[in-house]
Amino acid sequence: MRSSQSKFLVIYFLMLILTTYSYSQKNNKAQLELKKVQIKKEIKLINELLFSNKKKKKAVYNDIENLSFKIQRKEELVKLTNQQINLLDSEINQNNEIKNNLETNLLDVKTTYREIVLKSYKMKSGKSRLMFLLASESFFQAYKRIQYIKQFALFRKNQAIKISKLIVEIDELNKQLSSQKNKKEELLRNNRSVQKSLEKEKKQSGALVYDLRKKEKRYINQITQKQKAALQIDKEIERLIREAIAKSNREKNKPKSFTLTPEALELSKNFSLNKGKLPWPVIRGVVIQKFGTQPHPVVKTAKIKSNGIIIATANNEKVRAVFDGVVLSVLQFKGSNPTILIQHGKYITAYKNLSKVYVEKGDKVFSNQNIGEVFTNNSTGKSTIQFSIFQNTTPINPLIWIIKM
């Protein structure tokens, strides 16, 4: 009986640990699933926005760049699915351990119950019980024997209940294990399918890269020219922000931040409170270049520096302000497309690569108000917007400010 109780305690603690572990696992699984949904959505958008216009004659460079965005997302998807499979394997192993212990415990309880039934059968007749009581040497002993008979009957009843509960628990675990194994098989099938398309796209990309190497110097030169043009715009944005800061600090020498009116201070505070909740500058899009210094997606030997993010979107997509503010400036350089700067207190948002502009310097704008249209490159068919956020003159990562789509 003690052996049965100790085994029950082992199972109890195992189930307690599993409950705590399961809660953590559920959170991990939910986070992984959310990430997968996001990546699948991005892959769908990449296909729609970068690969839908097959009639357009595209450069090898552009094809590789588009493929590299898709390959990167698919590799992330495979990685996340593998993490889900590992979590499921861990859960299956835990449940198998619990199940084995429950089955061992059930066997012990059944053995004990069989012995009880056998003893009970021997004491079945009223005469046996009466003889057992009459053989008592004292009234106290008789009373103790009556209590023993009652406890024996109760113990037998409890053992029967325990057997029923263990059978139900094992049945539930079997169902859970079956569901987990099916889910694992589904994930493996999905992963095989993604990996198959990934291999095909990598071969396609590899063949294009082979052609590209012959013209790599020309492409590096193009990247350098693009970076110079981007730097020129960034320098002009910085100059305009410094000019606006100086204007707000007429009595100070070399100011580094805005001196704000009460209204602008409130606007700045509200902008800050919306970190991670700002709308995207376009209704539909996918990030194809992140913030900061990074290897070029095609020519890996080249490094690119970005003060913001680049979002691929649909042709003629409307560009919208991400928050209430005032148009600080509308910029346009020879050979480049218009840029709009909007001030939100000490924060500035920049919307680059537009084809049309709907606002002028000094205009008050509101969150989600259309301020222009995205430019579409006729040779590649690609429509992109470059979006940046500045705190005073310091560029900050827009991805931690805009809402996750």
The 10s digit of each residue's pLDDT in 343-372 is 999 999 999 999 999 999 999 999 999 999
d(CA 345, CA 325) in angstroms, rounded, equals 8
Helix and strand counts by DSSP (H, E) for the chain: 6, 13
d(CA 363, CA 355) in angstroms, rounded, equals 19
d(CA 6, CA 234) in angstroms, rounded, equals 71
- Which domains are seen in the chain, by residue range? 2-213 (no CATH), 216-400 (2.70.70.10)
Q: What is the pLDDT of residue 123?
A: 54
First to last CA, the chain: 59
Which ranges constitute the DSSP H helices of 51-59? none
Rg (CA), the chain: 35
Long-range contacts of 8-17 (CB under 8 A, 24+ apart): 8/105, 10/101, 11/98, 11/101, 11/102, 11/105, 14/97, 14/98, 14/101, 15/98
Q: What is the pLDDT of residue 5?
A: 54
The 10s digit of each residue's pLDDT in 76-119 is 888 888 888 888 888 888 888 888 887 877 787 777 767 766 66
| 3-class secondary structure, 374 | strand
**β partners of residue 373:** 318, 356
The one-letter amino acid at 187: L
Q: What is the pTM of this model?
A: 0.63
Q: What is the pLDDT of residue 28?
A: 78
d(CA 294, CA 309) in angstroms, rounded, equals 12
Q: Is the pLDDT of residue 315 over 80?
A: yes
Q: Angle at CA 70, nearest 5°, toward 58 and 225?
A: 50
Contacts of 378 (CB under 8 A, 6+ apart): none
Residue 46 has φ and ψ, to the nearest 5°, of: -60, -45
Q: How confident is residue 22, by pLDDT bands cut at 50, 70 and 90?
A: low
The 10s digit of each residue's pLDDT in 292-310 is 888 776 666 677 888 999 9
